[in-house]
Each structure stands twice: as C-alpha cells, then as structure tokens.
C-alpha cells in the first residue's frame, strides 16, 4: 500500500516514466560543469551554505505541501482505505524527493561549482537537506501550534549560525531529524490535507466590473504573493545602503531591475488555466484584460521603485528627474514584457504550483532588465534611448490591440 501511494504521487510529480527526474539531474550536471569550468568562484562560509540549503529546501517543501493541486490529489487518496503512518511517510518521502532532487539539486550544483568545499562537508549538506524536508513536514502537520514551530525553526537557525559547521552540527541535525521522524509517526494524516477554505469574503454589491479590484482580491487571497511584494519593498528600503558603495548614482538602474523581480504577480494566466481559457475565448481581451494587467504590474513595480528612490534620497541624496524617468522605464518595460510573455507563451506543463514558482521562464524578464540596467549603468545615455524606444513601443502595441482585439 505504502509503495502504491508513493508511486501514485511520484508519477504525478516526476512524470509517468519518471522522465522529469533524469531531465532535471542532467540540467544540474550541465550547470555544475558549466560553472566549474568557467572558474567563477565566490567565498561562501560552510554555515551559510548549510543555512541556504536548509532554508531553500524547507521553503520549497512547504510550498509543495500547501499546493492546491496536491490537496485535490490528497482528497482522492484519503478517500481510499489507507494505513495512516504508511501514508504520511510515503507522502512526505515523495514530496521530499521531489524537493531535493528537482529544486534544491540545482542550488546545490551552483554552490558546489562556485565555492570551495571539502568532501566531508558533503555529508553535512545532505543531512541539512533531509533535515529541512522533515522539519517542514512536521511543522506543517502541527501548524495550529505555529508559534512552537516558529520557535523550533528559529532555534535551528541559531544553532547553525552559532556552530557554523562540523561534526557536532551534523549530529545535532541528525538527532533533530530523528525527533521529527518520531513526531511524524504520530502525525494525523488529515493534517496534511488542506481542504476548501470556509472563509467567506464579504463583498460589497457592485454592478460594475473592475479588473483592478479583481487583481487586488487575487493578491489579498494569495498570502505568499503579498509577502513577496512586502519583501520587495523591504529590499527597496535597504538596497541603497548596499549599492551606494559600488558606483554612486549610476548603479541605481540595477536597483530598478532587481525590484522587477516580483515574479508571482507576473504569472496570473499561467497559474490559472481557467482564466487563461476565458480570456482567450471572450472577445476583445487583448485590450480589456492585458492593458489593466500590465498597468497593475507597473503599479506594483513602480511602488517598489519609488520606495527605493525615497530611501536612496534619504540615505545618499542626489536623485534627479532622469532617475525617476528611469524608474518609469524599468517598471513599465518589465510589465509590458511580462504581459506579452504571459499572453504569447504561458507556462503550461507544470505539475504542481511549486513548479510554477521556480520556472525559469519567470526570470526571463528580470534577466533582460538586469542586462539593460547593466548597459545603462555603464553608459548612462542608453537610458534615454531606451525611454525613446519605449515611447514608440507602447503606441505600436496599443495600435496592434486596436487592430486585432481578439
């Protein structure tokens, strides 16, 4: 039974013939060798490496556990007779394997390629990843005691930072992981099933439809997207402190490009297949849907850029109108490109939401923005050329929307 439960989940996550696993591992190897041969090296402390791997693994595992698609799968599986303990372990094992092999594997490949490490440290890294998987599963199953989970997680982070790395830390993580297994043995299987929310949103009676209201409701119902936006604003506040030492005002466009990294709001159609079907089927959606959507992303980006500029002005001073124009360019251009990508190439082949949140296509626009920012930092006149191009691009796109509204 345990084998069958595990197989059912594994086939959903890795594909019918586990083809996704071999593909991802091949990509990891290619990235490792590519970076290793390039000889790009940075100094990363062993404790930071352990912390990065642990935090990333736990975060992805949490996303996988709380995925709505998994809830649907779980509903059907839980309806069948099952052994609770076996079910919990096979479920956690498959989600853990998915997290470590398809997500953390990539981070591990990058870390191993760009930083110096000893073979013995590899044991610690593997233990930290497995430990993070178990911890995320335990805290998730006991989320009604979230404060206890929070204290437990904070204690582990403190231990990692305090002990750095070494045999003692490995041993502690191993013991803690064992405790997590003991708790999972007693875990209630239904604790992993996040049923439909019964919370009803009081909505005022409105006879007019506003997509802006729709987008704000969407944002407020997805707490992780809200958190992501709040994190970007916090980054906007502290970034001037880190950037000012680099190259003065010329580095400000790089800040704008980094702040366009609020990617969850840029995959609205990819993550909602029914909405995508509806906007393709209803008439005139290039104009009626895409333009408000573009303006919504622009406003989110622009809000972060304005916080960044205000923070820079307070810390370093010297903000001129040209930089405000630069903020408009980066916020609007990234919004336009994001909407174009969503309309022309939505992400379709995702298995669970977690795939979507780490899909490489999401980072295409921020990478383009970073390249443009790099160019504008090296050659400030480029910003004016880009603004002029944007001034042409927008009317052309609006004209196309008007001519071909379908």
Partner 1 sequence: MGETLLTVQNLSAWYSEQKRILSGFSFSLAGHEVAGLIGLNGAGKTTFLKVLSGLLPTFRSDGICFCGAPVDFRKQDFKLCRYTVFAEDNSFSYFTFREYLAYVCAAYGKEVTDVSELVQGFHFEEYTDTLLRELSTGNRKKAFLITAFALKPRLLLLDEPVNGLDFQSTEYLYQRILGYKEYGTVLFSSHILESITLTSDRVFVLEDGKIRQTFEGGQINAADIREALHDENDR
> What is the binding site for partner 1 (CB under 8 A)?
200-201, 203-211, 213-214, 217-218, 221, 272, 274-275, 277-285, 288, 404-406
For partner 1, the closer of residues 288 and 358 by Cβ is 288
Cβ partners under 8 Å of residue 383, min gap 6: 253, 322, 325, 326, 329, 376
For partner 1, the closer of residues 119 and 283 by Cβ is 283
**Minimum distance, C-beta of residue 112 to partner 1, in the bound complex (Å):** 39
For partner 1, the closer of residues 12 and 287 by Cβ is 287
For partner 1, the closer of residues 66 and 316 by Cβ is 66
**Minimum distance, C-beta of residue 352 to partner 1, in the bound complex (Å):** 17
DSSP string, 252-304: HHHHHHHHTT-GGGG-HHHH-HHHHHHHHHSTTHHHHTHHHHHHHHHHHHHHH
Half-sphere exposure of 9 (CA within 13 A, CB side): 30
Q: Helices 381-403 and 364-378 meet at what angle, rounded to 10? A: 140
**Minimum distance, C-beta of residue 44 to partner 1, in the bound complex (Å):** 42
DSSP string, 138-207: HHHHTGGGHHHHHHHHHHHHHHHHHH-SSHHHHHHHHHHHHHHHHHHHH--GGGG--------------S
**Minimum distance, C-beta of residue 285 to partner 1, in the bound complex (Å):** 7
Annotate 144-167 with b (16+ C-beta within 10 A) or e (fewer).
eeeeebeebbeebeeebeebebee
**Minimum distance, C-beta of residue 64 to partner 1, in the bound complex (Å):** 22
Cα torsion angle, 363, 368, 371, 376, sign: negative
Report the candidate in 144, 147, 231 with the shortest Cα–Cα distance to residue 190: 144
For partner 1, the closer of residues 144 and 223 by Cβ is 223
Q: Helices 46-65 and 105-114 meet at what angle, rounded to 10? A: 170
**Minimum distance, C-beta of residue 300 to partner 1, in the bound complex (Å):** 16
Residues making up the chain, counted from first to last: 406
What is the DSSP-derived secondary structure letter of residue 318?
Answer: -
For partner 1, the closer of residues 3 and 199 by Cβ is 199
For partner 1, the closer of residues 23 and 217 by Cβ is 217
**Minimum distance, C-beta of residue 289 to partner 1, in the bound complex (Å):** 9
Alpha-carbon span 333 to 387, nearest angstrom: 9
**Minimum distance, C-beta of residue 403 to partner 1, in the bound complex (Å):** 10
**Minimum distance, C-beta of residue 145 to partner 1, in the bound complex (Å):** 28
For partner 1, the closer of residues 37 and 202 by Cβ is 202
For partner 1, the closer of residues 41 and 277 by Cβ is 277
Alpha-carbon span 104 to 102, nearest angstrom: 6
For partner 1, the closer of residues 264 and 326 by Cβ is 264
Alpha-carbon span 117 to 132, nearest angstrom: 21
CA distance from start to end of the chain: 50
**Minimum distance, C-beta of residue 290 to partner 1, in the bound complex (Å):** 13
């Amino acid at each position: 039974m345990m084998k069958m439960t595990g197989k059912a989940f594994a086939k959903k996550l890795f594909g019918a013939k586990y083809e996704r696993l071999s593909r991802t591992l091949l990509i990891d190897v290619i990235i490792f060798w590519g970076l290793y041969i390039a000889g790009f090296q940075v100094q990363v402390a062993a404790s930071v490496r352990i912390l990065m791997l642990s935090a990333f693994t736990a975060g992805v595992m949490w996303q996988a556990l709380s995925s709505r698609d998994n809830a649907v799968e779980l509903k059907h599986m839980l309806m069948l007779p099952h052994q609770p303990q076996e079910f919990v372990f096979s479920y956690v094992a498959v989600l853990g394997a998915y997290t470590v092999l398809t997500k953390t594997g990539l981070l591990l490949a990058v870390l191993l390629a760009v930083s110096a490490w000893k073979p013995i440290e590899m044991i610690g890294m593997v233990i930290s990843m497995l430990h993070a998987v178990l911890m995320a599963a335990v805290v998730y199953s006991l989320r009604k005691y979230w404060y206890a989970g929070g204290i437990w997680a904070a204690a582990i982070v403190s231990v990692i930072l305090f002990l750095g790395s070494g045999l003692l830390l490995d041993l502690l993580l191993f013991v803690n992981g064992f405790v997590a297994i003991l708790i999972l043995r007693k875990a209630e299987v239904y604790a992993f099933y996040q049923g439909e929310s019964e919370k009803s949103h009081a909505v005022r009676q409105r006879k007019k439809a506003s997509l802006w209201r729709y987008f704000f409701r969407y944002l407020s119902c997805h707490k992780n997207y809200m958190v992501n936006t709040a994190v970007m604003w916090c980054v906007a506040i502290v970034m001037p402190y880190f950037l000012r030492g680099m190259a003065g005002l010329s580095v400000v466009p790089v800040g704008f490009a980094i702040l366009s990294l609020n990617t969850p709001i840029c995959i609205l159609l990819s993550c909602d297949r029914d909405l995508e079907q509806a906007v393709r089927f209803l008439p005139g959606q290039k104009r009626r849907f895409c333009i408000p959507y573009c303006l919504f992303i622009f406003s989110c980006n622009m809000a972060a850029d304005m916080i960044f500029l205000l923070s820079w002005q307070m810390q370093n001073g010297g903000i001129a109108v040209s930089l405000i124009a630069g903020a408009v360019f980066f916020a609007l251009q990234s919004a336009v490109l994001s909407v174009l990508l969503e309309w022309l190439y939505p992400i379709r082949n995702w298995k669970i939401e977690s795939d979507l949140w780490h899909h490489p296509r999401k980072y295409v626009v921020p990478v383009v923005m970073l390249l443009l920012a790099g160019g504008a930092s090296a050659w400030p006149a480029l910003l004016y050329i880009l603004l002029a191009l944007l001034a042409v691009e927008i009317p052309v796109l609006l004209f196309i929307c008007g001519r071909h509204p379908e």
